[in-house]
Amino acid sequence: MSLLSSFFDYAFMQRAALGCAAISVSAAPVGCFLTLRRMSLMGDAMSHAILPGVAVGFLVSGLSLGAMTVGGIVAGVIVAMLTGAVTRLTGQREDASLAAFYLISLALGVLLVSLRGSSVDLMHILFGSVLALDDGALRLLCATATVTLLVLALIWRPLVLECVDPGFLRLVSRWSGPVHFVFLGLVVVNLVAGFQALGTLMSVGMMILPGLAARFWSHRLGTMTVLAVLIGLASSAAGLLGSFHWGLPSGPAITLSAGAIYLISLIFGRAGGIVPRLRPGKHFHN
């Protein structure tokens, strides 16, 4: 009980736990769809793509939540549109053009922050400060979680169909294009909201790792989504406790906790883990 007492005794730990819970509820389901659509690396690329917008917001207004949030959303949308345009105009694969733009964005964002800010400001933007969340950041995280769940509920069926057979969805419905761009919007919004707590480089971990881990335990999307949220919550609690009791940096500690659960799932998960796949099958005799 003494290990968990920090969540009851300190207000900043309660705020950090609430913020991480909002990220888990919001980003983990989005990560499940990224995993099913084989777009996991896109989440990582978009987390870098928002950095120039965050940096511009920082240059204009300092560590202003509103300015950095708007800047991050605008930058993410621009990179997504440029990636699509390059793919259509040149025939280059989408993953290749996205990789080019995210590398450019990462370098540009770090350069912009370095022009005015200190190394402390740069570390704050890149790796977050979940133990110092203010009211504005908590409202943003909770609002993002609410909007994400509502939008996912509205587009759930066409989004699932697009994961299974996007060609069929394009044939029978005009929702294919809008659903794709709405989903990309959810990815960007969740990454922008998550950077307030975990930074631009760590927020994608809470989006991708729980979904990847959950897939080793179930092939049913509903079950996988619930498991991803639970894994996100468990990772957040473990990372926050490690940060409080042993002085670990909170963002990396949370992400590494999610990574540890992923490795355990990779080895022991009943839906494709290494050990169950190596286990001899049952033989039946007449």
The whole-number pLDDT of residue 283 equals 47
* Position with higher pLDDT, 38 vs 27: 27
Q: What is the pLDDT of residue 281?
A: 61
Mean pLDDT (the chain) is 84
**Three-state SS letters, 17-42:** HHHHHHHHHHHHHHHHHHHHCCCHHH
Of the listed ranges 5-19, 63-77, 84-98, the one predicted with least confidence: 84-98
Q: What is the pTM of this model?
A: 0.85
What is the CB neighbour count within 10 angstroms for residue 1?
Answer: 5
For residue 285, the model assigns a pLDDT of: 46
Q: What is the mean pLDDT of residues 165-185?
A: 75
- Considering the four listed CATH numbers 1.10.3470.10, 3.90.209.20, 3.40.50.720, 1.10.1740.10, the one that applies to the domain covering 6-200 is 1.10.3470.10
Beta strands in the chain, from DSSP E residues, in sequence order = none
Q: What is the pLDDT of residues 206-231, one digit of tens each?
A: 999 999 999 999 999 999 999 999 99
